[in-house]
Amino acid sequence: MRRPLFYGWIVVAVTAVVVLVTAGVRSAPGAFILTMTEEPGWSTSAVSFAAAAGLVVFGLAGPLSGWLMGRVGVRAVVVASLLITGCALLATSLVREIWQLALTFGLISGLGTGLVASVLGPTIATRWFVERRGLVTGLLGASTSTGQLIFVPLLTGLAVVVGWRVGAVALGVLTLALILPVVLLVRGDPADVGLRPLGVRAGAIVKVRPPDRGIMGRATRTSDFWFLAGTFFVCGATSNGIVGQHFIPHAVDHGFTAVEASAALAFMGVFNFIGTIGSGWLTDRWDPRRLLLMYYAFRGVSLFFVPFIHDTVSIGLFAILFGLDYIATVPPTVALAADRFGRHNVGIVYGWIFAAHMIGAAGAAWAAGIVRDSVGDYAPAFVAAGWLAMLAAFAALFIKREQPETEVPGTVAA
């Protein structure tokens, strides 16, 4: 007899769509930046500051999300996220001043998307799966690259043809439309539908443990937390920050059209999808620290290549190289956080690690805009990002993999 579909896969499917659209919202500044700078008084550095403000709030919303999911439930947090994000995007289409852009497109949409971006995927993977946990983390991480694949060329085309304001409205309406399937289908825990996590043997007692009291106080007193946060800070700076926000205008500086550059970024998303799923599979089998060493070193080499992109072959080669590990760092970083601090603490601990990621992204996004306005070229910013990635590669080897405390025999922590 065929076994029925495990309900957790339905939750993963809906979650993947939510993460995909969230990625589309966060990639919008990179797609809109050229047309936004055509507004009176809106320079590259000013628009970059608005985007950076959103990235900071996006990251800091992660720990808040982990706390809220433990108290009001996963579904309620996701609905609130979609409502805030959709309304912020609709309001963005009406702004006329740069401070208004920073408020709506930056701070408010950053809060909305941040409530689901960092913690939702690891929470679903940890609660619903014992088997295939790394694979599920990779799948949900790959949804981010799929969002880039779909939305970057679409939003860039909309901005060029009918204006970035129409693109903001379309993205806002799509975000609000996701509320209904989330309400109908998403459940935060297998027990809500009478199930056990996938891979838990029959008869085992599933012990749902809340986060430990004072976990962040203990975590921040360890070097392992700071190595995880520091390497992920570099991950954000070298991915979402400089490439996600500035790759298109850099390519335009080198003779490409905005549509051609967005197509290359989308092509990058294809290989990111492959790389992130592969990273999840590898994380279930290899030491995550060695994976991070390879990923960051590979990223550094690809960033050194960026200033020399001038033709179709070189931009395509960069899209392949960088795409393979754009966010492949997520599954091993989540795994290390779970191994070191306990799976029941992942929501809070990884939330703060992800906050460091987005602070790095915000700093790089703003700094690259200043470099471009100051020297007329992005090359120094990309080279500096490459050296940061190399530093992170070796820092990853200093992270310890201590196992969390042993559970009571016959129980499974979720």
pLDDT-derived band of residue 204, with 50, 70 and 90 as boundaries? low
Q: Environment class of residue 43 by beta-carbon count within 10 Å: exposed (0-12), middle (13-18) or buried (19+)?
A: middle
Instruction: Note the pLDDT of residue 406.
Output: 43
Q: Are 388 and 241 in contact (CB under 8 A)?
A: no
- Asked if residues 414 and 197 have their Cβ atoms less than 8 Å apart, the reply is yes
Least confident segment among 109-113, 151-155, 303-307: 151-155
User: Looking at residues 340-356, what average pLDDT do you find?
Assistant: 82
Greater pLDDT, 50 or 183: 183
Which run of H or E residues covers position 166? helix 164-177
Q: Is 360 exposed, middle or buried (0-12, 13-18, 19+ CB in 10 A)?
A: buried
Counting Cα atoms < 13 Å in the Cβ hemisphere of 28 gives: 33
Question: Alpha-carbon distance 192 to 182, whole Å?
Answer: 15
CATH for 7-189+205-413 is 1.20.1250.20
What is the Cα–Cα distance from 217 to 11, expressed in whole angstroms?
32
Buried b (16+ CB within 10 A) or exposed e, 235-259: bbbbbbbbbbbbbbbbbeebebebe
* Crossing angle between the packed helical segments 288-304 and 223-236, to the nearest 10 degrees: 30
State the pLDDT confidence band at 145, using cuts at 50, 70 and 90. low
- Judged against a pLDDT cut of 80, whether residue 39 lies above it is answered with yes
Quote the mean pLDDT of the chain.
83
Q: Tell me what percent of the residues of the chain surpass a pLDDT of 70.
A: 93
Task: Please state the domain extents for the chain.
Answer: 7-189+205-413
- Residue 208: its pLDDT value, please? 57
pLDDT at 202: 60
Separation of alpha carbons 135 and 23, rounded Å: 19
- Residue that the structure tokens 């016959």 belong to: 410
- Nearest Cα to 355, choosing from 44, 142, 114, 74? 114
Structure-model confidence comparison of residues 15 and 270, the more confident one? 15
* Whether the predicted pLDDT of 253 surpasses 60: yes
